[in-house]
Chain A
Amino acid sequence: MIRLIGVLIIIIGFIFKLDIIAVVLTAGIITGLVGGLSLNEILKTLGEAFITNRYMSLFLVTLPVIGILERYGLKERAAALIKNIKAATPGKVLTTYTLIRELAAAFSLRLGGHVQFIRPLVFPMAEGAAKVSYRDLDEHSIEQLKGYAASAENFANFFGQNVFIAAGGVLLIVGTLSELGVEVTPLQVSKASLPIAIIAFVLAAVYYNILDRRLAHRLGKISQGGKQ
């Protein structure tokens, strides 16, 4: 059981928000020591694994072009696109955002974010749609909308990102399995991530539809001036 001490160190490190790089290194070295490896073996394993897994950090080569595009307004353009969403209810606003954000994640466009998109754009749009759809939007409903608006970013980001062939998660899967003697390619893993990405979107659409219904039920719908 003592060999699980590394796991414990990582848990403690995360709980106390210690520096994660140092925590992971400490956990690895101590685990090696209690597991009966010599210091030389530990350093050799650590160094070799780091070098074999260099491909996980290959996203570094994409940073210059992303930086230049951001200098020329990439995020501003994405914001303009999000602003153009025309949806009648808060649930539909969130469903549309989830779709756009998930597609962006699948293409490795890092265009989301709670700071850049949810707070300044998506939440106000959902709130605006709620005000014209339902009577007397109360404080509890606004609080609820905030939580749901933040969730759209997470759902789309988490379940869309691994569709990209060189996503961090995809390379982690390839690398970890390879260290354990199982060989897979990034292409196989990214293709295998597609079904759950689609399911996540469908489920999110249903989830936000239920939100609309609950709001309508609780607050009452405003009839849209004769329009259907």
Chain B
Amino acid sequence: MKTILLEILYIMAGLVALFTAYLALQDKKHPTRLGSTIFWALLAFAFIFGKYVPAQLVAVILIVMGVLTALNKVQFGSQKNSSPEFRQEKSNNFKNKLFIPALSIAVFAFGIAQFTSLGGLVGLGIGAFVATIIALVMTGAEASYVAYDGSRLLQQVGSASILPQLLAALGSLFAAAGVGDVIASSISGVIPQGNILLGVIAYCLGMALFTIIMGNAFAAFAVITAGIGMPFVYSQGADPAVAGALALTAGYCGTLMTPMAANFNIVPAAILETNNQNRVIISQFAFALVMLFIHIILMYWLAF
């Protein structure tokens, strides 16, 4: 039951990508009309049929998608939100009722995960479905906006939307190639295996440092969890949910301290017209250090 519902959800997600491809094709003013159409159509194919075709074909599809993004052929089209006046007027009419559909997604996702055996992902899908119905009934918007606005937002997020999924695949390749073993063996010269506290410190600091270098905690998580987390934390009997959750946010402490995370630190400084382009990082530094220290204590205390 759960598997079937999940598969239906993947088809729904695939349809969102397929509509995006279709609307990109229809978008005469699209700067990268053909590239965007192919990119989103391939993603739709992977979502809907990926399970039934050879995995190698899916990988080739990903490589084609990668070539398209590398050539900068996947950009935002000319789709528009409503006018500022219309939005202001509607926002005054509906007031806080506007939050109801959005909140219902999270409420359904949590409720279904907590009280049924279907899990949070099925909950997310059911929540999104119910929220869409509520939003359509409440606003009286034409049903065609389901496709139009879904596609507008997906093109805004752009190719980065597949990044988490791709990073997990990267982690899988790293594991198959034995990258974790290399990191683990070079670190085990410094940290004695079997010492829980040192393992926790290495995992949290490793996440923060790697994120500082790469500017992306998601990418760091795949590498550091395989290299440090597995041999020095999880294998010693850590609660994996607690250790995993804290490792990722330990990485976020690194995000707060690095100019490499330009979206979060450098761009906002520019938007606020600060004199020092590192102003946001300076303001966050002490907070990030204290939080990192707390992460180590918390992981040591709650995961074991």
Contacts and interface: CB of A to CB of B under 8 A. Distances in A.
Given A109-B103, A147-B269, A69 B287 contact: no
Nearest first, the 6 closest Cβ-Cβ pairs linking A and B are A35-B177, A67-B149, A73-B91, A147-B283, A47-B55, A64-B150
Count class of interface residues, chain B: 35 or more
Interface residues of A, number: 122
A143 B274 contact: yes
B188 interface: no
6 contacts: A1-B182, A45-B55, A63-B149, A150-B268, A166-B123, A179-B172
A58 B9 contact: yes
Nearest to A170: B245
Interface of A: 1, 3-4, 6-7, 10-11, 14-15, 18-22, 24-29, 31-32, 34-37, 40-51, 53-77, 80-81, 106-109, 114-115, 118-119, 123, 143-144, 146-151, 153-155, 158-159, 162, 164-166, 168-177, 179-180, 182-193, 195-196, 199-200, 203-204, 207
Given A27-B170, A56-B168, A73 B16 contact: no
Contacts of B225: 176-177, 180
B191 interface: no
Given A61-B12, A147-B274, A158 B99 contact: no
A116 to B, nearest CB: 10
B36 to A, nearest CB: 14
Contacts of B146: 64-65, 68
Contacts of B145: 64, 67-68, 71
Interface in B206-249: 213-219, 221-223, 225-226, 230, 234, 239-242, 244-249
A7 B179 contact: yes
Contacts of A73: 86-92, 94, 98
B187 interface: no
Contact of B216 (A14, A32, A59): A14
Contact of A65 (B46, B50, B88, B131): B131
Given A50-B62, A76-B87, 4 more contacts: A6-B173, A6-B179, A28-B173, A176-B171
A179 B153 CA distance: 30
B260 A67 contact: no
A64 B6 contact: no
A46 B57 CA distance: 10
Given A62-B105, A147-B282, A77 B222 contact: no
A49 B88 contact: no
A43 B59 contact: yes
A76 B226 contact: no
A196 B245 contact: yes
B55 A43 contact: yes
A106 B109 CA distance: 12
A68 B136 contact: yes
Interface in B172-200: 172-180, 182-183, 186
Contacts of A77: 91, 94-96, 98-99
